[in-house]
Structure 1
Amino acid sequence: MTLNHGFPPPESIGSSEEKTSECEATADENCLRTELRAMRSLVSDLKTQIADMRQTQSTPSTEQKLRKVHKVFYCSTSWLYSKERMDSAAKSHSRAGGEHMADFVVLVTYRTVYHFTMLSGMDTRIGRLEKQLEVALNSIYTLVQLTTGMNNNVTRFREDAVDQLKGIRAHLDSVSV
């Protein structure tokens, strides 16, 4: 049993040739370890890149655009709702209705964001309903095809049975006469 990670203890090394070969083996092993580390880091980088690519491919670009628009609208409403913005807007208007104008801008922006959010939610729901409707129509089409095939098979079976019964009846009539 060796205590030096698989290498014999230093006092057991006899000749200089063995020392040279052992040094070469150690150098080669170190090179292999560094290459292995480099390969592991490359593999982990590739895994993260693949995960990023899958992430970007899983969400369509229209949804990403909608998310960006959502963020812009939400940021603008929070900016308009801030107390400092309301105060500065009220002070900047020289008319008596300056405060009401700032409130009106906030209200219009809030309503715009609210309606935009509702529309994007409805768009998502409509997309889901379209997919469900497509699945339902495919199921109905499959059922119609199955029903048509079953009706054709039943009709063919009935015609074959009638032909066989006519043949049996003719045979019985010929035997009984």
Structure 2
Amino acid sequence: MANRLSKIVTRTGDKGTTGLADGTRVEKHCARIHAIGSIDELNSHLGVLLAETLLDDVRDLMLHIQHDLFDLGGALAYPAAQFTEDKLLYMDTAIAHYNADLPPLKEFILPGGTRAAAQCHVARTVARRAERDFNALAQLETVPQYGLPYLNRLSDLLFILCREINRTMGQKETLWQR
């Protein structure tokens, strides 16, 4: 692998701009940087989740998703890059797989349970924010076609995984009480 980052401190952002991968400079508060930042934050929360004890298949899925999120952030940083439909189809397959054995919900559940499930809930809420930020950017600029549905499905998958993690660890869900 080539040495991509020879210097971490460049001082090029000291005046409030940052560089995209194609060399374009943009304001650090622009919608594109908000979306990239939210996706990066989501990826970091998944990294924290991976520090927990997880079943191997869930761990492998989270690692796969981390790579997808890095690709999505890259596609936003380098607008000519692609984020392909196969990533969305993979997400749909994972949703169907993990949702198949869960009991139907009869009431809302509160975030929590095991530490891993609670961290997964945090990641889910950050995924929703990343989705909102991505959608805001899509109102202003061209974005990867499958990015928005991917983020939407990801938050659904994370909710399902919260339930699955609690179920496999023998932790009952806390139902919302009216």
With the shorter chain as reference, the TM-score category is under 0.3
Higher helix share: 1
Task: Compare CA radii of gyration and give the structure with the larger one.
Answer: 1
The alignment's TM-score, normalised by the length of structure 2, stands at: 0.28
Bigger relative contact order, structure 1 or 2 (CA pairs below 8 A, ≥6 apart) = 2
The alignment's TM-score, normalised by the length of structure 1, stands at: 0.28
